Amino acid sequence: MMSNIIFIGGIHGVGKSSICQHICRELNIEYLSASNLLQWKNINEDPQNKLVKDISYTQNSLIWGLANVLRSQNYYLLDGHYCLLNSNNEIVKISPEVFKQIDPISLNLLLGNISEVKNRLEQRDNKVYDYDLLERFQKEELAHAKLISKTLGITLNICTQYDYSKLIILLRSFLPSKL
């Protein structure tokens, strides 16, 4: 693909969408949501359901979606995941090959307070979430993000919803000064 993608991962409900949209406004770059690119609402009967039946298929859909929207002259912030929950509610790591195809110029991870994440998800999705699963999910997301960082040779930047201003400054260094 093209090296014009900044990737920000994090578990469901951590605040990625809101923070990514704020970062995009600040940096004047385009926001892309992995869920929108792979057309999650068409893949899953219940868009609020976080369980993925066929992770390989969804990741291929993501790569196809990216290939259809990316333009070489633009820079993008892609909001996605390093891990997903499969249909058995098990944490599954996204293949490093997917990240190689995405070809990000920057890897980033948003971490959150699990109690806040749980509350946010329950309010948004109107269903109960297991605290321990969310906590394990975030730990796996962090561990796998570190592995992806090492595999691709790209520094991993980690922040929370309360301290991402430093991330904005750092991400500016990846962009041409004319943006």
**Mean pLDDT (the chain, rounded):** 87
The string of pLDDT tens digits covering residues 8-65 is: 999 999 999 999 999 999 999 999 988 777 654 444 454 555 666 676 778 878 888 8
Cβ(83)–Cβ(140) below 8 Å: yes
| Domains of the chain and any CATH numbers | 5-172 (3.40.50.300)
Q: 10 Å Cβ neighbour count for 34?
A: 23
The string of pLDDT tens digits covering residues 75-124 is: 999 999 999 988 888 999 999 999 999 999 999 999 999 999 999 999 99
pTM of the model: 0.88
Q: Give residue 176's pLDDT.
A: 81
The string of pLDDT tens digits covering residues 134-151 is: 999 999 999 999 999 999
Which H or E run includes 46? none
Q: Give residue 43's pLDDT.
A: 46
Q: Give residue 36's pLDDT.
A: 75
Cβ(140)–Cβ(86) below 8 Å: no
pLDDT band per the 50, 70, 90 thresholds, residue 174: confident
- CA distances (Å), 95 to each of 10, 100, 132, 146, 157, in order? 16, 9, 24, 13, 20
